[in-house]
Chain A
Amino acid sequence: MNFFTPLTEGLRGLGRATLFLLTILAGTPAALLRPRLIFQQVYSVGVLSLIIIVISGSFIGMVLALQGYRTLVNFGAASSLGVLVALSIVRELGPVVTALLFAGRAGSALAAEIGLMKATDQLSGMEMMAVDPIKRVIAPRFIAGLIAMPLLVSIFSLMAIGVAGGHAIGVELLGVDDGSYWSQINQAMHGADIRDMLIKAAVFGLAISWIAVYQGYHAAPTSEGVSRATTSTVVVSSLAVLALDFVLTAFMFH
């Protein structure tokens, strides 16, 4: 063990994960030919994450509105509350908070499921039946994560800004004018904001799905191995999301 060991180990892990990603991408066309498998997974990682996304979106929108109102009202700018909520959500909180929740809810479930399939010889069994588990199990789950994240981020943002979040607190409770709330959002938010939000969502979706399937597939086939894979998925993908968010924001920042 010397000073460079953790570094070389880290690089080796990254290399293995990259090779694994290339293998998944090579298996993607075969998976796309069987959309039913992908839809099943979109249901499992997307639809089943809806409740937590909807509730979190609403609460974060409500908190933002309360905090924002308190500051804005001192400057007589309470009518800009909509802009504050909308831009904070669309540019940052929507993609990042959704990604963190997605990592905790869907990423961990993916890693645990794949890890358990490995521990109970289901993946080996498939290989012995001449079925490639990368094409049959891994690729559909990976693609589903990629599809589900932009949809979930959109739903999160809608809930936070309009349906039950900022609008409910700002307009219904604190008495900000409904017209100003929406018209100021309309003026301040551009197509580029939505585009950037969806780009972030897709990149985070890719990162989380990649980390989750990698951790599950390479888990030690024991109960401890599966539990470690699940934990690593949440920790590594949360850190990856925050780091990627900084990089993406730096590029998008004009």
Chain B
Amino acid sequence: MTTAADSLVRVRSLKFGFGPKVIYDGIDLDIVRGKITAILGPSGTGKTTLLRLIGGQWRPNAGSIAFDGIDVHQQTRSQLFALRKRMGLLFQTGALLTDLSVFENVAFPLREHTRFPESMIRDLVLMKLEAVGLRGAAKLYPSEISGGMARRVAMARAIALEPDMIMYDEPFTGQDPISMGVLIRLIQGLNRSLNLTSVIVTHDVEDVMKIADYVYVLSGGKVLDHGSPAEVQQSKSALVRQFLNGEADGPVSFHYKAARRYADDLMAGRE
């Protein structure tokens, strides 16, 4: 069991929904300092929603989210912005500013939040780009680089202000095996070398299990199981096993629920 001091993020009794649709129905979750926590779950379980809630972009209907002991949703806008400087969020697309070069994208948070001289900004940006292996691409524009490279640039930008935590939203989606390997190594390497805390939201089970220290499996607004990757793989929950093993049928049915039986539906066309 984690203590309050171990956790960088503590989520308690979180409830959230869009209108009548319930996304979270009272979940508890701890993101432990210095570790890589993976949040797994089928598409549509609201994994990205969780990151936006932690980042304070959306407000929960009930429950609390504390970042380093500070309740994210009890802050003024300026306090929330101060808190966000300590966390980075990597969007699925990278969310790079398309009118700025790779260099300027990484320089963006430095220019916005610091008064560093130009020479220092240049050195810092080149160091961050070197860390993700893209110093040579500094002059290119986001439209000139691949999706995997865009995510690495976004990583460099996220670490520019040296945050405590980085949240990755589906970092592996649509990546070829080489690019995927690069991203996995980078996430692990950055977490270790910068003493970060990482949260990875994904449904790429196999890859994330290699680097995660702790895993949560979410579905239907609940935490189905959590523990080390080895523990979760031995889960008693049929749904967790279906998800981890990628089985087409199980508790989550292959067929979307239909109003009529198959035969009735086919016959209905002859009337």
Contact = CB atoms under 8 A, between A and B. Distances in A.
Partners in one complex: yes
Interface of A: 117, 120-122, 124-132, 136
Query: For the complex, would chain B's binding face be called helix, strand, loop or mixed by DSSP majority?
Result: mixed
B111 to A, nearest CB: 10
Interface string B12-54: 0000000000000000000000000000000000000000100
In order of increasing CB-CB distance, the 4 nearest A-B pairs are A125-B95, A121-B95, A130-B81, A130-B84
A129 B98 contact: no
Contacts of A121: 91-93, 95
Query: For the complex, would chain A's binding face be called helix, strand, loop or mixed by DSSP majority?
Result: helix
A21 B237 CA distance: 52
Nearest to B97: A122
A128 B88 contact: yes
23 contacts: A117-B97, A121-B91, A121-B93, A124-B95, A125-B89, A125-B91, A125-B95, A127-B84, A128-B55, A128-B57, A128-B89, A129-B85, A129-B88, A129-B112, A129-B157, A130-B81, A130-B82, A130-B84, A130-B112, A130-B113, A131-B108, A131-B112, A132-B81
B109 interface: yes
A132 B161 CA distance: 16
Interface residues of B, number: 24
B84 A128 contact: yes
Given A120-B98, A122-B98, A124-B57, A129 B109 contact: yes
B212 to A, nearest CB: 22
A130 B91 contact: no
Contacts of B55: 128
Contacts of B96: 122, 125
A238 to B, nearest CB: 27
Contact of B95 (A120, A130, A131, A136): A120
Contacts of B85: 129-130
Contacts of B92: 121
Nearest to A44: B99
A132 B95 CA distance: 15
B113 A120 contact: no
Given A122-B96, A125-B154, A127-B57, 18 more contacts: A117-B98, A120-B95, A121-B91, A121-B93, A121-B95, A124-B57, A124-B91, A125-B89, A125-B91, A125-B97, A128-B57, A128-B88, A128-B89, A129-B84, A129-B85, A129-B157, A131-B112, A132-B81
